[in-house]
C-alpha cells in the first residue's frame, strides 16, 4: 500500500508541478533506519543527505515514522491506507520539490511553520484536484487530531504558476 500510495503521489506532484523527483529521494522506515531518525508527532521526517559527488543534486530521505503511523491507524481503523500514504508522500514530495528547486530553503529554521502551512495547503489542493478515494475521510480524521495549518494568501504561487483555491 505504501508503494501504491507513493506512485500515486509521484504522479500527482509530477503532473501538477512539471517536476520529476526520480533519483532525488529514498524512503525508509524506522525499522530500517533506526531510532536516530525518530521524530515524534509527525508521520514522516525529511532528511537531506549529501551527494557523494559535489556536482550531483542533493538526495533527500523520507523517513516514515512507523510508530506514529501505526498509532494513527490503530485509532482509526476505517482509514484507507493507500489514501493515507498518498497524502503523506504527496506532502513530503512537495517539500522535496520546493527544496530542490530553490523555492524554499531546507536550512531556514525560522520559517518551518510557514513552510509546513504552505505545503499542507498545497498538498490538500493538489489532492482535491486529483481525487483519491478515501481522501476526504483522511482529512476529516487529521483535522480532528490537529487543525490544518492556515496559509493566508488565497492563491498559492508555485514557480510562476498559480493554483487557485479558497484557503
- Please state, in angstroms and rounded to a whole number, the distance separating the CA atoms of residues 112 and 62: 17
E strand or H helix at 143: helix 135-145
Terminal alpha carbon distance of the chain: 30
CA distance 23 to 52: 13
**DSSP H helical ranges for the chain:** 2-17, 30-33, 66-75, 81-100, 112-129, 135-145
What's the whole-number average pLDDT of the chain? 84
Judged against a pLDDT cut of 70, whether residue 148 lies above it is answered with no
Lowest mean pLDDT across 21-35, 75-89, 144-158 = 144-158
Write the pLDDT tens digit of every residue in 62-117.
Answer: 999 999 999 999 998 888 999 999 999 999 999 999 999 999 999 888 888 889 98
Pairing of strands 25-29, 59-64: parallel
**Neighbouring C-alpha atoms within 13 Å toward the C-beta of 32:** 9
Report which DSSP code applies to 148.
Answer: P
Amino acid at each position: 500500500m505504501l508503494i501504491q500510495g507513493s506512485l500515486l503521489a509521484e504522479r500527482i506532484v509530477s503532473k501538477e508541478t512539471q517536476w520529476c523527483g526520480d533519483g532525488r529521494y529514498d524512503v525508509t522506515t524506522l525499522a530500517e533506519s533506526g531510532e536516530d531518525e525518530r521524530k515524534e508527532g509527525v508521520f514522516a521526517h525529511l532528511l537531506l543527505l549529501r551527494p557523494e559527488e559535489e556536482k550531483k543534486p542533493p538526495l533527500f530521505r523520507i523517513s516514515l515514522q512507523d510508530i506514529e503511523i501505526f498509532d494513527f491507524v490503530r485509532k482509526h481503523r476505517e482509514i484507507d491506507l493507500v489514501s493515507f500514504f498518498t497524502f503523506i508522500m504527496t506532502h513530503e514530495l512537495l517539500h522535496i520539490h520546493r527544496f530542490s528547486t530553490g523555492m524554499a530553503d531546507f536550512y531556514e529554521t525560522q520559517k518551518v511553520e510557514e513552510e509546513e502551512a504552505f505545503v499542507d495547503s498545497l498538498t490538500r489542493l493538489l489532492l482535491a484536484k486529483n481525487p483519491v478515494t478515501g481522501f476526504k475521510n483522511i482529512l476529516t480524521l487529521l483535522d480532528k487530531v490537529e487543525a490544518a495549518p492556515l496559509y493566508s494568501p488565497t492563491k498559492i504561487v508555485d514557480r510562476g504558476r498559480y493554483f487557485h483555491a479558497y484557503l
